[in-house]
Amino acid sequence: MKAQRNLNKNDAQIATYFYQLYHYLYPKDVKMSFELVYLLPLTELTAAAPITKIVKSLMTKEEYQTFANQAYDRLYNDK
């Protein structure tokens, strides 16, 4: 995220960048693609919240449903 900020990219451009990474990883490694977006807010805390929302809005229905299921499992089923 810092590298993208250093290139003077706005939130929408950064979100598109992260979505492209997510979309590339998704068919190859669903768990890793989830981690990429799920842990994104930890990179800049509240500054990443709008970016995370944009990334999720760019996901296909299948990608979003998988992401939501993984997030639910992370919150309620992981010990």
Q: Tens digit of pLDDT for each residue in 46-69? A: 566 788 899 999 999 999 999 999
What's the predicted TM-score (pTM) here?
Answer: 0.80
Per-residue confidence (pLDDT) for residue 42, from 0 to 100: 67
The per-residue pLDDT of the chain, averaged, comes to: 88
- Cβ atoms 36, 22 nearer than 8 A: yes
- What would the two tokens of residue 44 be? 């800049």
